Each structure stands twice: as C-alpha cells, then as structure tokens.
Amino acid sequence: MTSPLQQKLKISGPVVVTANRLGDGAVIYRTADSRWSTDLEDAAVVTTAPAASVLLEGGVADDIGAVGAYVAPVRVEPDGAVRPANLRESIRLTGPTVAPPTDAGR
C-alpha cells in the first residue's frame, strides 16, 4: 500500500485532513495550529495541493494520537460553515446510517 505522503494529491476545491483518534476511534480533523479536533468547524480548510500536503504530513507524523490521516473534500457554505462534500465524510461526521442493535427482547 502506498503511503499517503507518497501519493500525488489532486485538489479541486476546499479540503481538510481527517483521521481517527487512536484512543477511541473518534473522527478528528487537523487544525491550523497542528492540533486535532473532533469539530469539523475547527479544521484547517485549504485549497491547494502544497497546503494539503503540509497538513497531511503533520497528521501522518502524529501516529500516536491519530491513525489513517487523509485528505477529504469539504464545501464552505456562504455563511462560512464547513460541511462534508461527499457521502463518506457525511457518514463519518454524523455517525452510522442505521441504529445499532439493542439488547431489548433478550
């Protein structure tokens, strides 16, 4: 498998760097000040491959706090709100699309 840092990034709009927190698997986003946040609104939004590469490099280097960092597309609403730009990221942000099983009826 090719490392994310060895892949040529093709950026065609705003993107963020996302990963999963190692401790609990929570979806996290790389911030402009090199931290991770569970809030998409805190994410550093970039629009060029060089800027995305810098964010991604920092995210991949933090292999103790995060795992699986990659670049994900977002859209910026007219009011400045950041929203996922594809179905996968929408599901990662909002959680499962079906209710988990319960122990009811046992």
Summarised one tens digit per residue, pLDDT across range 5-15 is 456 888 999 99
Average confidence (pLDDT) over 84-96: 90
The pLDDT score that the predictor gives to residue 1 is 46
Query: What residue ranges do the domains of the chain occupy?
Result: 11-86
- CA geometry: angle 91, 94, 99, nearest 5 deg: 85
Name the pLDDT band for 64 (thresholds 50, 70, 90): confident
Average confidence (pLDDT) over 39-56: 96
- CA geometry: angle 68, 36, 76, nearest 5 deg: 90
* Average pLDDT of every residue of the chain: 89
Q: Which residue bears the tokens 């800027």?
A: 51
Number of helical H runs and strand E runs in the chain: 2, 5
Three-state DSSP state, 91? helix
Average confidence (pLDDT) over 26-41: 96
Task: Give the separation between CA 76 and CA 80, rounded to whole angstroms.
Answer: 6
